[in-house]
Amino acid sequence: MSHSVSDVFLSFQEHLDSEQDFREEIRLAVRDLEQTARGILTLLQAIHQQAGINTIPEVCEKSKAQFATIREQYQVLKSKVPEGQYYRFHDHWRFVTQRLCFLVALTIYLEEERLVQREQVAEMLGLCIEQDKGFHLDLDDYLSGLLMLADELSRFAVNSVTAGNYSWPLKISAFVTEMNLGFRLLNLKNDNLRKKFDALKYDLKKVEEVVYDLSIRGLKPSGDADLMPKSG
């Protein structure tokens, strides 16, 4: 009797030990990712500066170059996660993945003024989107990244006005409205994503206020803002 009991505990101890090892290695890999992500974030903060708004194309180029490192680091992380156990350890890289989705989305938005697709984010990060292919880009993480983008853009709208550029707020307003439309199609349940989505309306409100301020003062650029080429 005692024999079988101790066997059971021994095998569970082995299980615990191996899990511990997995977690440690994953943590190391995630730490590298976080470091690079912070670098990109710092880089992109330049757009809020008075002078930085004119250097957007260069900033985007630099940011894109950094994603090569990210891709490598995701490959490392990928190799640490046992097959079929993505969601067992998901919490470790959830946050950094969300932030990276946001950074990709921001870069693409600044360059092309459109919402980045999930496939494209996955490609930039060196991941796939199909769940059954192992390490993939989770839909929740992608959507959270987009919501972070809305938050950042509402800030950018304010700062671009301060910097004397009046065309960005109009474009951002149209963009965030469209994104809001998209998110309202989802039937979210009461989780983190829903909480972040609930904050989207405040971002939208902020951007609309900026647009309002511009229009009552006659500062709105003439012509349809959506059709205007990028004015630096």
Partner 1 sequence: MTGEGRTHDKGHYNRGHDRGHDRGGHWSSRHKQRKPEDKRQADVDESLPVVKMFRAFQVELDDRYDRYERLVKLGRDVTIESKRIIFLLHRIIRDNQKDKILAEADQKLCELSMFTLREIATELRGQSYYLYLRAFSPGIQEYVEAVTYFHYIKDGHLVTLDEIHKALVYIEQAEEAESEMANEPASQSPPGKFSLEITPLDYMLGVADLTGELMRKCINAVGQGNLEEPFVLCRFLRDVYTGFLGFGNTAGREMSRKVWTLFQSVRKVENACYTIKVRGSEMPSHMLADMFSSPLPEKESPDCG
Q: Which is nearer to partner 1, 70 or 77 (CB)?
A: 77
| Cβ pair 167, 113 in contact under 8 A | no
CA distance 118 to 63: 18
Q: How many CB atoms lie within 10 A of CB 169?
A: 30
* Shortest separation between residue 78's beta carbon and partner 1, angstroms: 15
Q: How many CB atoms lie within 10 A of CB 50?
A: 10
Rounded to the nearest whole angstrom, what is the least distance from the CB of residue 54 to partner 1 in the complex?
A: 29
* Two structure tokens written together for 203: 């971002």
We find the least distance from the C-beta atom of residue 36 to partner 1, in angstroms, to be 26
- Binding interface with partner 1 (CB under 8 A): 1-2, 4-9, 11-13, 15-16, 20, 84-88, 90, 115, 117-118, 131-132, 139, 143, 178-179, 181-189
In the bound state with partner 1, the residue whose beta carbon lies nearer, of 140 and 208, is 140
Which residue, 76 or 188, is less far from partner 1 as judged by CB? 188
Give me the least distance between CB of 120 and partner 1, in Å please.
Answer: 11
Measured distance CA(159)–CA(202) in Å, rounded: 17
Query: Tokens 């021994």 label which residue?
Result: 10
